[in-house]
């Protein structure tokens, strides 16, 4: 697989490292403020992997679509532009996989939360609170993973009509904490007068994110559409057994 890395921060470097370990070829890397290379047809990448910033992601996705390069998008914080980018992708017959988190463990955590929410919804005695902890360099707050989790919970738990970073009676509280050198912790607490249920995912490092992003890159080649990783991750990892 010939890979074009867009964004050369911690995740971009991790993607490069893992790609080479898996005998993929990284043919180009661009970081913020740099011009994209002009690819000839025989040098064109099979796929791009994008981990940048929310203010850059829209242009990066559109350019990949315009150049007919499938792209895996790990940048978060662009939910408000998702519908417009989906329309652009489908209109141009592009190939996009995006995700708030490419870790297989987090996506299993999402499935566990869905099952919990379906059952908690039958018992209004439980309140819901979420905590997410990340490294201080993470700019978006709350994390995209926390927002994805909140939306999963809100589909079934109707006593809440949204999420908030501050306490509101009709919102799921997301306590977003930033600390030195934390890869990522996400925890949901269901609390009643009788008991508490806490469901937590802790990332040991960023390697799981890189592994998932590369698996998504292998999967998207040859496909057309606008896919959310949480919806397809079972197929992605089945394909990579």
Query: Residue 193 and residue 180: Cα distance in Å, rounded?
Result: 35
122 is catalytic: no
Both tokens of 191, joined, read 């609390």
Helix (H) or strand (E) segment spanning residue 233: helix 229-239
For the chain, helix, strand, coil in percent to 5 are: 40, 25, 35
138 is catalytic: yes
- Choosing from 24, 92, 129, 134, the catalytic residue is 134
Both tokens of 5, joined, read 């890395």
In angstroms, the Cα distances linking 161 to 131, 142, 198 are 18, 17, 21
| 18 burial type by CB count under 10 A (0-12 exposed, 13-18 middle, 19+ buried) | middle
- Choosing from 24, 138, 186, 211, the catalytic residue is 138
Note the residue count of the chain. 241
Q: Are the CB atoms for 85 and 62 separated by under 8 Å? A: yes
State phi, psi for 184 to the nearest 5 degrees.
150, 125
Supply the residues annotated as catalytic.
134, 138
């Amino acid at each position: 697989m010939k890979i074009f890395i867009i964004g050369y921060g911690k995740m971009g470097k991790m993607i490069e490292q893992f790609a080479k370990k898996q005998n993929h070829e990284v043919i180009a890397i661009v970081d913020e403020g740099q011009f994209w290379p002009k690819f000839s047809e025989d040098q064109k990448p099979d796929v791009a992997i994008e981990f940048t910033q929310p203010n850059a992601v829209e242009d990066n996705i559109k350019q990949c679509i315009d150049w007919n390069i499938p792209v895996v998008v790990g940048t978060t914080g662009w939910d408000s532009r998702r519908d417009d980018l989906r329309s652009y992708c489908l209109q141009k017959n592009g190939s996009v996989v995006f995700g708030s988190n490419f870790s297989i463990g987090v996506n299993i955590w999402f499935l566990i939360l869905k099952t919990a929410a379906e059952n908690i919804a039958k018992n209004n005695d439980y309140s819901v609170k979420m905590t997410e902890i990340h490294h201080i360099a993470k700019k978006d707050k709350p994390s995209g993973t926390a927002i994805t989790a909140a939306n999963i919970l809100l589909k079934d738990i109707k006593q809440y009509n949204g999420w908030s970073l501050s306490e509101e009676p009709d919102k799921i509280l997301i306590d977003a904490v930033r600390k030195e050198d934390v890869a990522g912790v996400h925890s949901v607490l269901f609390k009643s007068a009788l008991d508490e249920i806490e469901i937590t995912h802790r990332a040991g490092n960023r390697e799981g994110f890189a592994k998932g992003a590369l698996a998504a890159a292998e999967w998207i080649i040859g496909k057309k559409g606008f896919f959310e990783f949480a919806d397809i991750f079972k197929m992605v990892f089945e394909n990579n057994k």
